[in-house]
Amino acid sequence: MESGYKLSGMVGADHLRRVDSYEIPPEALREALVNAIVHRDYVMSGSDIKIAVYDSRVEITSPGAFPRGITLDEILDGRSEVRNKVIARVFKEAEMIEQWGRGIRKLTRLCLEAGLQKPDIVESGMFVQVTFYRQKADDKNGRKKADAYEKTVEAQNKIIAFVLAQGEINVAMVMDLLELGKSRASELLSNMVQDGRLIKKGTGRSTSYVSRAE
């Protein structure tokens, strides 16, 4: 958050007004948090809603896939499927949900109106993650960071898909799957363990990585 002062009329104590501005619209963050709480999969034990703040972005990650096989395109078109009806009703009665199916479109609109990049929504089958970018859309350095982040997310999603299909993965398999060097492959797996997306099993050459659902 950035703070500044705005002078109105003559300079004086009665005319000095504090003006607060935010990198990311608070309403957009609120919408993402409400969606994470209302739509997360509470059957997945050992997983929690995570909020991560970085220099270039803010991530809100909710356990579970989209409800009932609904796609991102359908969500952006306004379709809504409520997984947790009791929780959703409480938020609706508390007026924290204005209208079903508008949350994602609203937070996207708010960010674009603020001059930010369009938020990213990623669904991997095990989690839904909303990423807000802190730089303005015309910030070239921010774009480079965002591009690098998108490549990392894509790589991690491929790893998760492989593990779900094959049961496990190791460094050599990641090197072959993503055409990466050993150092980068190891880094990806290590980060995914720290983020709680994979579990490390074994040591040395027998080290492998499996899904938390194992």
Write the DSSP string, 126-148.
Answer: SEEEEEEE-SBTT-HHHHHHHHH
| Res 2 pLDDT > 60 | no
pLDDT at residue 188, as a whole number: 93
What does pLDDT average to over the chain? 80
pLDDT at residue 175, as a whole number: 94
Binned at pLDDT 50, 70 and 90, residue 10 comes out as very low
Fold of 139-214: Arc Repressor Mutant, subunit A (1.10.10)
Phi, psi of 123 (to 5 degrees): -120, 120
Q: pTM to 2 decimals?
A: 0.54
| Res 98 pLDDT > 50 | yes
pLDDT at residue 17, as a whole number: 60
pLDDT at residue 33, as a whole number: 92
* Contact assessment for residue 4 and residue 16, using Cβ atoms and an 8 Å cutoff: no
| Res 56 pLDDT > 80 | yes
Q: Which residues pair with 121 in a beta bridge?
A: 130
What residue type is assigned to position 6 of the chain?
K
For the residues of 36-104, what is the DSSP string, one character each?
Answer: HHHHS-TTSTT---EEEE-SSEEEEEEES-SGGG--HHHHHTT----S-HHHHHHHHHTTS--STT-HH
Q: Kindly report, residue by residue over 137-164, the tens digit of the pLDDT.
A: 555 555 666 677 788 888 999 999 999 9
Distances (CA, A) of 82 to 15, 43, 212: 49, 15, 25
Mean pLDDT lowest among 5-19, 34-48, 61-75, 155-169:
5-19
Mean pLDDT of 56-72: 83
Mean pLDDT of 69-94: 76
pLDDT at residue 162, as a whole number: 93
Q: Which residue has the higher pLDDT, 32 or 123?
A: 32
> For the domain 24-138, what is the CATH code?
3.30.565.60
Q: Which residues pair with 3 in a beta bridge?
A: 20
Q: Kindly report, residue by residue over 173-211, the tens digit of the pLDDT.
A: 999 999 989 989 999 999 899 888 899 999 888 899 998
